[in-house]
Chains A and B, each alone.
Chain A
């Protein structure tokens, strides 16, 4: 043991290890993620031939992509408008039932998007007769565009509320109080003091929400399949999911697939850069105060109505759609079906998620520590920016790009499982790195330095001092990576067309368009929900016990 520590404490070993981690990050995470961009240079001819010169194809692609971005934008705006009052309430107000509300908001997070897709589609959309939707379902939405917006709000709303309240907690309430002692009403103070301080955090919330909506594949596919008439509606990721299985027999689709992926990657990166600049640079005329109207809105019925509406929204547009599947399955006739393939796909998902999480931690924590400890360095800055790329790129595009990258080289064998794991590592790795890097930066370097002055080697100082402090952040990152991997459909399908993930299995059931098919899909969703619920509870239990 001692000799091992001595070996890995040598300067050369440590430099080599750091280099290895950075190389891994660049070649296994970043490069495959954006590799498809090179297709535009090497195969411009086929893009022209199969896409640009084919108006029907071009139209289809542009429509799907523009729908994706429109949906993401609308969802983000809705999330901010209704998420902000909710976050405000949770952070700044004291009331009875606050703990309950807090838990309720987290509930949809435990429901995989695939199940959410089916559940909310049954609740909101006009569904085929064979589905036998309960009479108290809303049964109103006929536009696939609106249905997808509603679905995306359901799954992104809790994230938005969580990220907004995380920022709000950090803004010292004294500022607002100070404003009020100077005569500003509660609303004026919140608007002119707290909101401007909110800006940087708002950017993170917007970008995450936007990127999540842009990426979402499994739930979207299922919701569209559930509708009575989806009018051939497609989003960018669902197009990739649709074409990928066909490309092996019909190579004409390679160029359109690459084109869609390139557009998704480029547009999302550019757009999010623009969002960042706009939110940070553009100053809204927020300085003015309108004492009388704002005072009026600070008291009496207005704040109460606002809070009431926020709770109403949560219940009707988030909670009921999330769990409507239970009432559905309870209200229709039962049918027997074969659990075999479904269990297999579930086990497969868990296996992938487990392996991915282990890789993320083993190779993500060192990178996080490197980034956090070399904050002043150029390289660290670049890495810090790059880490966000896989988070922003829609996962279906990422998956397709990664598949093309690895099958095009002869460096590693291209087993399906391996490719799926690599794809999942690519988009979950940043979650671990960002979580841990944030935590390491909070830790006073004096702790480790003290350990070093007491004779500990760097690796021992990490093991004994830093690791215990950041352990909970590592765990949090691991949980996020695991659940993201578990719920992912877009990347899996885009990298290996034949992959039988749980969402693919559910879509196939729904596409049977028979009562028993729907019923079975519902049951499968419930199993998914229960499994992930149990899993979340177990994780929460473990984290609580550890942190004590």
Chain B
């Protein structure tokens, strides 16, 4: 059983704060991703868990044990590096058997373990090669096998897929989750790619500028984000500013700044309150009334069309359309747009403005 608990964990470099007092518990066998834009402190965080970086505040507990002062090699972790970091002078097999060797297991045992994990990532046939002779995806698989070979039940993945080609990246994602679940590992996976986070995680921890913005399942963060930053960072969304015009039966009618009214199934803000609506493009649709806008671009996306339209005050609204009725949707055409009241989310309008709230740093 491996549970990881961070209590007030922080790292300062002089006057610069890289990570500010993070509290987080990762349950046994849970797959958690730490997601955030570059520079948000996520890599510093995972490195503090591994012991590569000493925290300046707070503590890391692995399995209930305080890790302060415990060197990397005694933390019993598997770690996969962004730059792969296979030992260039050792063969694939010797890379994977390094962990067992460092623990002084007998040679037969070293061999058995390295074969087992190479088989698991389906690279048994590349055993005798040097890392430089493999392609990027294979290298990262070997490095995964190497991390697993230590037999640790805690797997730390530091941007494991960032260095790979896009196709390999997608394939390897599922491989990671499959292995983690098969072996019953507690996994902490750092990434800046929200799609990656959504497709592998049990739970996502979203970070920004050294602090945790919000934590939740991929579905929660996508459908009911509690912060404007989350709504904007995870998936795509339209952020529309307005005021609460009236409230009836738990439904708010919002008067938008760009003219037109929309309805949202939410009533936590009083009449007259300044709000921001987040609504994803798939929940905006042309209707008889609503926001008036002029179509400015239509992009074919494979299974649907992404339409961009400009409202009267030059605000851009994006929506998706499964069909393309050329009488209705052509560039320069005027449309009225409505939103699905169940799928829109209301936020109090931030004091510093919406742009400040969605800024990455």
Interface residue ranges, A against B (CB under 8 Å): 172, 174-175, 177-186, 188-189, 192-193, 196-197, 287-292, 295, 298-299
Q: Could you tell me the distance between the alpha carbons of A56 and B224 in the complex, rounded to whole angstroms? A: 98
Given contacts A182-B150, A291-B103, contact A172 B98 (CB under 8 A): no
20 contacts between A and B (CB under 8 A): A172-B85, A174-B83, A177-B85, A178-B85, A179-B98, A181-B73, A182-B102, A182-B150, A183-B150, A184-B73, A184-B98, A186-B71, A186-B73, A188-B102, A192-B98, A197-B88, A287-B94, A287-B101, A289-B101, A289-B102
Given contacts A289-B101, A291-B103, whether A178 and B71 have CB atoms under 8 Å apart is no
Contacts of A287 in B (CB 8 A): 94, 101
With A and B bound together, what is the CA distance between A287 and B73 in angstroms? 18
A289-B104 CB under 8 A given contacts A172-B83, A182-B99, A182-B146? yes
Instruction: Quote the shortest CB–CB distance from B116 to chain A (angstroms).
Output: 16
- Known contacts A172-B83, A174-B83, A175-B85: A181-B147 contact under CB 8 Å: yes
Q: How far is the CB of B217 from chain A (nearest CB, A)?
A: 29
Given the interface pairs A172-B83, A197-B88, the reply to whether A177 lies near B102 with Cβ below 8 Å is no
Q: Which 10 interchain pairs have the tightest Cβ spacing?
A: A182-B99, A184-B102, A181-B79, A180-B72, A174-B85, A183-B102, A178-B85, A180-B73, A291-B104, A196-B89
B77 adjacent to chain A (CB < 8 Å): yes
A185 touches B83 (CB 8 A): no
Residue with the highest number of chain B CB atoms closer than 10 Å, among A175, A180, A197: A180
Complex Cα distance, B103 from A299, in Å, reads 17
CB contacts (< 8 Å) of B94 on chain A: these are 287
Q: Which residues of B contact A196 (CB under 8 A)?
A: 89
Q: Does B160 contact A (CB under 8 A)?
A: no
| Interface flag for B55 (CB, 8 Å) | no
Which A residues touch B102, using CB under 8 A?
179, 182-185, 188, 289, 291
Taking A182-B98, A182-B150 as contacts, is the C-beta distance between A177 and B52 under 8 angstroms?
yes
The dominant DSSP class at the A interface is helix
Please determine whether A185 and B81 come into contact, CB atoms closer than 8 angstroms. no
Cα–Cα, bound, A188→B83 (Å): 22
* Inter-subunit contact B71/A299 (CB<8 Å): yes
Check B78 for interface membership: any CB of A closer than 8 A.
Answer: yes
Cβ 8 A contact of B73, one of A183, A288, A290: A183
Interface check B180, CB cutoff 8 A:
no
Residue B244, interface by CB 8 Å: no
Task: Answer whether A174 and B103 are a contact pair too, CB < 8 Å, given A184-B98, A185-B73.
Answer: no
**In-complex Cβ contact of A178 among B87, B101, B104 (8 A):** B87
The answer to whether B89 touches A174 (Cβ under 8 A) is no
User: For B77, what are the chain A residues with a Cβ–Cβ distance below 8 Å?
Assistant: 181
A174 and B81 within 8 A (CB) = yes
- Is B50 an interface position by the 8 A CB rule? yes
Q: Is A178 in contact with B81, judged by CB distance below 8 angstroms?
A: yes
Q: How far is the CA of A298 from the CA of B72 in the complex (A)?
A: 12
Look across to chain A and name the residue whose beta carbon is closest to the beta carbon of B151: A183
Report the bound CA distance from A191 to B89 in whole Å.
Answer: 13
Q: In the complex, A287→B102 CA distance in Å? A: 10
B52, B83, B99, B101: residue with the most chain A Cβ atoms closer than 10 Å: B101
Task: Give complex CA distance A290, B102 in Å.
Answer: 8
Residues B50 and A181 in contact, CB atoms below 8 Å apart = yes
> What separation, in Å, do the CA atoms of A546 and B150 have in the docked complex?
51
A449 to chain B, nearest CB (A): 26
Count chain A CB atoms within 10 A of each CB in B50, B72, B99 and give the residue with the most.
B72
Q: Hey, which chain B residues are within 8 Å of A179, CB to CB?
A: 87, 98, 102
Q: How far is the CB of B82 from chain A (nearest CB, A)?
A: 9
- Whether A197 contacts B89 by the Cβ 8 Å rule is yes
Which of these, A172, A178, A188, contacts B79 with CB under 8 Å? A178
- Pairwise interchain contact A183-B99, C-beta atoms closer than 8 A: yes
Closest to B81 in A: A174
Hey, which chain B residues are within 8 Å of A298, CB to CB? Answer: 71
Closest to B101 in A: A289
> Which residue of B72, B89, B150 contacts A177 across the interface (Cβ within 8 Å)?
B72
Contact status of A181 and B72, CB under 8 A, knowing A197-B88, A197-B89, A289-B101: yes
Cα of A291 to Cα of B73 in the assembled complex, Å: 11
B72 surroundings in chain A (CB, below 8 A): 177, 180-181
CA gap between A223 and B361 in the complex, in Å:
63
Task: Please tell me if the beta carbons of B104 and A180 are within 8 angstroms of each other in the complex.
Answer: no
CA distance in complex: A183, B150 (Å)? 8
- List 13 other contacts, CB 8 Å, given A183-B73, A289-B104: A177-B52, A183-B76, A183-B103, A186-B73, A189-B73, A196-B89, A197-B88, A287-B94, A287-B101, A288-B101, A290-B104, A291-B104, A292-B104
Known contacts A182-B146, A183-B103, A184-B102; is-contact A175 B87 (Cβ 8 Å): yes
Which chain B residues in 26-85 approach chain A with CB under 8 Å? 50, 52, 71-73, 76-79, 81, 83, 85
Q: Mark B103-118, 1 if CB is under 8 A from A, else 0.
A: 1100000000000000
A289 to B72, CA, bound (A): 17
Least CB separation from A193: chain B residue: B87
Residues of chain A within 8 A (CB-CB) of B104 are 289-292
Cα–Cα distance between A177 and B102 once the two chains are bound (Å): 13
Cα separation A180 to B78 with both chains bound (whole Å)? 10
Contacts of A180 in B (CB 8 A): 71-73
CA distance A292 to B76 in the complex (A): 16
Looking across the interface, which residue of chain B has its beta carbon closest to that of A184?
B102
CB distance from B311 to the nearest CB of A (A): 44
* Min CB gap B78→A, angstroms: 7
List chain B residues, Cβ under 8 A from A289.
Answer: 101-102, 104
**Neighbouring B residues of A295 by C-beta, 8 Å:** 73
Chain A nearest CB, measured from B208 CB (Å): 26
Which chain A residues border B76 with CB–CB below 8 Å? 183
Which B residue's beta carbon lies closest to that of A295? B73
A195 to chain B, nearest CB (A): 10
- Chain A residues, Cβ within 8 Å of B156: 181
Nearest chain A CB to B2 CB, angstrom units: 15
